Amino acid sequence: MTLLPLGQDLEPRALSPHVVDRIGAQGQVLKQRVDAVEATMLVTQNLDPVTLEKLTKLVVYLNESGMKLMLKVDEINGDDTIKVARKALVGQMNTQLDRLEKLKSRLSQSAPTVG
């Protein structure tokens, strides 16, 4: 077994050959990243402008990644079992996208006003 460097994700397609499982694994990685950003926001009261900008860019990037995953979910076709799994994935993706929108809103409220 090859050890990956810290922070490097295991490519989800190595875990399961089925597209639903692969997208689900990518959704779990997205969830973990959203959890990490939320945790950072909870423990940090006053963010300096540089950190605030970096977090905002990260949230925008994660939101774009979530939207790309949602597009992949939309492309899934199959029998009733696949449709049920697809519906569950849509629910999970929507939850993460909603969390990211709330984070974006909180970050924009934390931004210093110029004037």
pTM for this model (two decimals): 0.79
Q: What is the mean pLDDT of residues 85-114?
A: 88
pLDDT, tens digit, 9 for 90 and up, residues 20-79: 888 998 999 999 999 999 998 888 777 788 988 999 999 999 999 999 999 999 998 888
Q: Measured between alpha carbons, how far is 7 from 47 in angstroms, rounded to an integer?
A: 24
The two structure tokens encoding residue 85: 């799994």
Is the confidence at residue 9, as pLDDT, over 60? no
What is the number of alpha carbons within 13 Å of residue 22 lying toward its C-beta?
A: 12
Going by pLDDT thresholds of 50, 70 and 90, the confidence category of residue 16 is low
